[in-house]
Structure 1
């Protein structure tokens, strides 16, 4: 029998910690580290049933993939129902989902009439925010609500001390954006992907999902669930997470309307925002906002750095072209760019210098549709638009497997007994640490 026990949930000041004790088939997917989240306000007065939400949101998808039941002392009743709904969605999305039940000694109904934010300095909505195209578009759409801008360390920015600089850069950028608009911020830090054995999850499931485990399966429910104590403390009724994809994109992704719109707890409801807009249409929303209110707005989307945009990676170029197609000068909004670089984009794509996946294919196709309608401003831009309209984007997508050595490591991990793997884990982890870093669109 496979089971996962959530035990000893404690809130000490701003820190949440609990033990995760798996047994059976799912054991290899946990490192033995306590699950931890640090908030920027005290959470000691948050009910235990709400404190359980962050760990349940991250552990339950692993349990469902292994047919394991989950046991916890107390859980918010509304969230327990949300888990049932999300479980149904994931089981319909992935054949490897086997199910499992949640058992709680107590369910609670957090009083929706209580006032967890008596000082009134919070807001009634929050937005997961990085400063990229998607989250900035969602801010623009909901700016009348003055949402709390919530940023999370633990996914694309890991808890590793080597990422301290990136986290500081993100905090500074988000804080500056918020201060200019008189908004509140919330910064959360978690070791969720350290308590979960993300390397082993990747080894077992990468060949069955379009991307890594967390991006394809866990991150919609997982990231939103991390926000529950913060939302309770600040009286947040609505939490928005910006869409990555849009209607018509046939990719399985862990954050989508079917999942995110079902996540809820106490008096808080979550929303997958902007799904009806393509990425280029989201840039249009930002362009209108720039013209009306924010002429100096800078975006941050770079795959290589957090203290600005390198201007040379695929994502920087893609965003710069998108800004240009929405009538903005990329150099005025964080992207060093000249028309001569259109030839460089074409060369990089034709030579396979960038690892392009299905996400990028859809996004360049979206750009292509806008390019058909746009009058070029230079010969270089004309050449690029003509090439983009005629090129076979599917042929440019890199579907190549990882190097043989990486495939063998993953296969070995899949077939290693848990007792042996636990001894070998530090070596496996060090080898994997440079691989498969999740791309954030």
Structure 2
């Protein structure tokens, strides 16, 4: 019988650690590392049922993929019910998920500290900035997490420092509190092996397609309890009308809860261009406020200390800013009319690896283009091309490199002993892909 046992749950001041013990058939999906998460506040008074949430939020989806049961000594009763709701959503989304049951010796409900505070997962990108603008009257605590796009590895220290400085600067200018969470969740799980097994079933990777809604929100549980955060917001990536298989959606995030905290999938009613329009209104309304007028976004796929201005996401954001009436160079993106030619060339030459996400986002831009008067001949030529471009074909012609697909297939079918031998090769390939994406 396939099982995963969570034990040895310990807390030392601001750090949570737990041991994950999978049955032998599931060992390949986990490493030997204990699950570990650190906060910038003490969590020693947080109840054990809430402390179990971060590790359960990451282990349960892996268990559901294999039809395994999960065992833990104690879990918060509200979260135990939330797990069932999230499981139902994911099973309805993905045929390859089999389900499983969470068993706890004790399910508990306690009286949480109540302060009426709210929190917002925040990176400084378009989505989280729009969510801040929408909820700014509540003065949410800005929460940033290290462990997914920025790993706990020392090589990512500089990126993490850049993110922290940017978020702290944004918060200081608006008199907001911040919270920083660091976790090894994707190295306690064997994320490359999960990717090897399940990439063929999803449009993105394991964490983006399956785990990150429940996972990132669950990481915040001990900190949210300690701080008395009642409403926790995570900004939507997609919007109404886009029915993509994705790990963060209203029918996942809105179900996540624990004693004292309700989570919310935010701004799902706005397209990405709508969110840029919301940010533009915020900037325009506060044109005399230097904190608002110098607002810089960070969305780059290549660097964390600003935006390169040349990757697909930078170009996409710059075009969206122009359509919203903002000058990209004033908000973090070097951009000139000549760049329109480069965008078209990159599309037509297949320079970018695109998925359905990008297809919908460029379609959103194309819809806005049809209602916009071009400001220059270069812009007019690009808008005319984009209006007639076959986005489906452009996305279909892009994809991950062949050698990455072969590595995934090989790892998927290798015995554990063989996999342990070839893992360094796969990991190096993964790191190389990360550096050039």
What TM-score, normalized by structure 1, do the two folds share?
0.95
- 1:81 aligns to what? 81
Q: Distance in 2 between matches of 1:325 and 1:277?
A: 16
**Greater CA deviation, 290-299 or 232-241?**
290-299
Q: Deviations over 1:179-225 (max 9, x none)?
A: 00000000000000000000000000000011100000000000000
Q: Distance in 1 between matches of 2:126 and 2:57?
A: 26
Q: Distance in 2 between matches of 1:211 and 1:303?
A: 15
Q: Deviations over 1:205-261 (max 9, x none)?
A: 000011100000000000000000010010000000000000111310000000000
Whether 1:163 and 2:156 are equivalent positions in the alignment is yes
Whether 1:239 and 2:229 are equivalent positions in the alignment is no
Change (3 A) 1:281 1:259: same
- 1:25 aligns to what? 25
Q: Deviations over 1:125-154 (max 9, x none)?
A: 000000000000000000000000000000
**Greater CA deviation, 399-408 or 351-360?**
399-408
**1:76, distance to aligned residue in structure 2 (A):** 0.3
Q: Distance in 1 between matches of 2:422 and 2:345?
A: 42
Runs (4+) off by over 6 Å: 436-439
Q: How many pairs align? A: 432
Whether 1:397 and 2:395 are equivalent positions in the alignment is yes
Answer whether contact 1:156 1:437 (CA < 8 A) is retained: no
**1:427, distance to aligned residue in structure 2 (A):** 3.9
Q: Distance in 1 between matches of 2:399 and 2:338?
A: 33
What TM-score, normalized by structure 2, do the two folds share?
0.96
Answer whether contact 2:142 2:179 (CA < 8 A) is retained: yes
- 2:308 aligns to what? 310
- 1:199 aligns to what? 192
Structure with greater proportional helix content: 2
Secondary structure of the corresponding residue to residue 397 of structure 1? helix
**1:403, distance to aligned residue in structure 2 (A):** 3.5
Whether 1:249 and 2:247 are equivalent positions in the alignment is no
Residues 86-101 of structure 1: matches in 2 within 5 Å?
86-101=86-101
Change (3 A) 1:405 1:341: closer
Question: Which stretches in structure 1 are left out of the alignment for 5+ residues?
Answer: none
**1:424, distance to aligned residue in structure 2 (A):** 4.2
Q: CA RMSD in A?
A: 1.5
- 1:298 aligns to what? 296
Q: Distance in 2 between matches of 1:153 and 1:403?
A: 27
Residues 1-400 of structure 1: matches in 2 within 5 Å?
1-112=1-112, 114=113, 124-293=117-286, 294-400=292-398
Answer whether contact 1:215 1:438 (CA < 8 A) is retained: no
